[in-house]
Chains A and B, each alone.
Chain A
């Protein structure tokens, strides 16, 4: 047997023995485990699964062993991923540090930074948040203004970040800051990491139309950040940010495979709320719902096709570029249809009057608006497809 097949067999039997059956089902939102200094587990199985994967080094299977990874080469890592998928194992933890910052640190960090920052990530001990967007820098991220002034052995950071997901629960932040106000927009930006407990950092949660949310505005008032926490070259943060956002897209698509917190099957709900025989206006509604379900089916097949093409060594950059757009637009469309299908039952706000599922759908609908904005708004995705994939010309 060749070593890869051997590894596949070992991995399969290890996972079968060590992944508790309860951890092999889609995760409801409340049961996500976030690696953090004060990590919380919804149940004992989740903790067991977390600890076993951690001790195996499989939070970061393809990272070097010296930083706590398992040192798997790409082809072995692919085997592990496919076995995890096959058994439908939940991710043992969610961690922005590992998915986004980690790969950038591996590529651009100093030896000391790698040791100090990567090792706790591989143990799931630090929760990270992303400090990129600002009130006046959204799609046009490079216009950010939060400043980091040179003060000898440290920077002094002033300004504000917004839409910081889980800013209130995170231990550390990686942030883009302006270190040179005179340079051109893209040339004066640096990437730093900072401890959220630093004096001068304050965090205010933001309520969304869907109610309480995980989003925060973070304020910096004379925050001291040691220069050892600058990642990569001074003023060279924009390239790192682009790299990081590539990892974000990859992570989002991976994340999407596992957790389906807003996943509702449309057609059973149609049957439930629009029992036969339906009237004429209702049959038009059913047709809309079916079209929405068929588009979702086509999307799911596209996810499968992209995976197969990638494994066959084909170029999937084009397909990758549409996934976020399609998925989030379809989700919104689907919730719009559901709102109509469920009628008054979709309009409840206070708990109690409607079923938990109905409440969840109402919140899901409101939340679906955030998804077509975050992580690159739909219009930005269309720009990217038009220019990078289709090669349409830019305005001079």
Chain B
């Protein structure tokens, strides 16, 4: 397992950085927020990203992918973080696309995965129901009915849920212990999608399913057997979010260091004060540790030599470390900017809000600490 990007991945990083800096800088995110557009992202930007191949990165060539591995997503998510760029890459490609790839049959892949990769359609994962992420707490009921199923229940915090063409809905079926995944088209009768505006001004939704009737072809894989695929797809999403938080934090750190070097108080640059120097140095340390954890998480996603448990442990480590670090970095960034740090005019606040959402998405630091411990103590 290597903890460095290879040459191809570095090229991808360069092109992503250029593309997003030109097309989707932080000011664009601010504009999207002010326009209060429900989609939360710029559809044209997304189509152009698709044209660059982003939606094809992790999928095999026979399904229309580039077979580039999940590690190739790392540099892109870092750039997304650095520029605060909104796009459905996480929701539609990394989460839903992976689930279709891992769990879907040929027909489902043909209908939905190809369209996801080509950007013609986009999907969203409807998983969480509680205030905090926890896949094991899914309660939404799927009742067998005719040769299909009837789904009833609520979903919160569906990433990019507004305007999606379809949803992968996690559900429980009667006596079966496990979780099943159903592909529900957006126009299914009984499905209501409501925007759930969050602090980061992106696209989140609440779904209400009232006896939504689906056919047998809506089920991904076997009944009650979605957990392994869900674990893999969620881990991909978690590590991508970790990379995004790393990108945001590096940018914030750069902004803050600049400020420490230029802001003068008491006749000197405030970066002269040792209390601020030491705190800045601590943040540098945290960034370095988090980068290592994120690189290991990314590498683990593609490393078939690792056990399931080891991959999960590294994914949780990445999300935990990046989340914990990002909160430290952004909180200090606000504080070290003094009064201006709490104004809306400064971009730091936009990062603060996005980091909070990214940290809560797919499991916060406490969730991943517990998961890591359970995996570790199982063989301690």
Q: Which residues of A contact B (CB under 8 A)?
A: 265, 267-268, 270-271, 286-287, 290-291, 293-295, 297-299, 301-302, 304-305, 308-309, 312, 318-319, 322, 325-326, 379, 381-383, 385-387, 389-396
Contact = CB atoms under 8 A, between A and B. Distances in A.
Interface of B is mostly: helix
B280 interface: yes
Given A297-B317, A305-B295, A308-B2, A392 B272 contact: yes
Interface stretch (B46-54, B146-154, B166-174, B370-378): B370-378
Given A287-B369, A392-B261, A393-B268, A299 B376 contact: no
Interface residues of B, number: 38
Given A267-B380, A309-B4, A322-B288, A387 B277 contact: yes
A393 B262 CA distance: 10
Contacts of A386: 274, 277-278, 280-281
Given A286-B373, A322-B285, A393-B272, 20 more contacts: A265-B380, A270-B377, A291-B369, A294-B317, A294-B369, A295-B289, A297-B317, A298-B321, A299-B289, A305-B4, A308-B3, A319-B288, A322-B288, A381-B281, A385-B285, A392-B260, A392-B272, A393-B261, A395-B268, A395-B272
Nearest to B316: A294
Interface in B257-283: 257, 260-261, 268-269, 271-272, 274, 276-278, 280-282
B271 A305 contact: no
B372 A290 contact: yes
A251 B109 CA distance: 55
Nearest to B253: A390
B296 interface: yes
A390 B272 CA distance: 12
A393 B271 contact: yes
Nearest to A385: B281
Centre residue among B289, B295, B372 by max chain A CB count within 10 A? B289
Contacts of B238: none
9 contacts: A294-B369, A297-B293, A298-B293, A301-B3, A390-B277, A390-B281, A392-B272, A392-B280, A393-B261
A308 B5 CA distance: 11
Interface in B322-380: 366, 369-370, 372-373, 376-377, 380
A318 B288 contact: yes
B292 A382 contact: no
Contacts of A301: 3, 292-293, 295-296
Contact of B377 (A267, A298, A391): A267
Contact of A305 (B291, B320, B366, B373): B291
Contacts of A392: 257, 260-261, 271-272, 276-277, 280
A385 B4 CA distance: 23
B19 interface: no
A295 B2 CA distance: 19
Contacts of B369: 287, 290-291, 294
Most buried by B among A271, A299, A326, A393: A393
A67 B280 CA distance: 45
B317 A298 contact: yes
B290 interface: yes
Contact of A385 (B3, B274, B284, B321): B284
A345 B185 CA distance: 60
| Interface SS of A by simple majority | helix
A390 B285 contact: no
Nearest to B257: A390
Given A325-B285, A392-B261, A393-B268, A382 B380 contact: no
Contacts of B373: 267, 286-287, 290
B284 A312 contact: no
Contact of A390 (B4, B284, B366, B380): B284
A379 to B, nearest CB: 7
Given A270-B377, A298-B293, A299-B289, A308 B4 contact: yes
Nearest to B373: A290
A325 B281 CA distance: 11
Contacts of B284: 318, 322, 385, 389-390
Interface in B200-227: none
A106 to B, nearest CB: 32
Contacts of B277: 382-383, 386-387, 390, 392
Counting from the closest, the 5 A-B pairs by CB-CB distance are: A386-B277, A301-B292, A385-B281, A302-B292, A298-B289
A293 B276 CA distance: 28
Contacts of A383: 274, 277-278, 281
A305 B285 contact: no
A301 B292 CA distance: 6
A383 B274 CA distance: 8
Nearest to B3: A305
A268 B380 contact: yes
B292 A294 contact: no
A396 B288 contact: no
Most chain A CB neighbours (cut-off 10 Å) among B260, B285, B372: B285
A271 B377 contact: yes
A278 B281 CA distance: 37
Interface string B1-25: 0111000000000000000000000
Contacts of A385: 281, 284-285
B284 to A, nearest CB: 6
B37 to A, nearest CB: 38
Contacts of A308: 2-4
Contacts of B2: 308
Contacts of A267: 373, 376-377, 380
B31 to A, nearest CB: 32
A286 B376 CA distance: 12
B235 to A, nearest CB: 16
Contacts of B278: 379, 382-383, 386
Nearest to A312: B4
A217 to B, nearest CB: 31
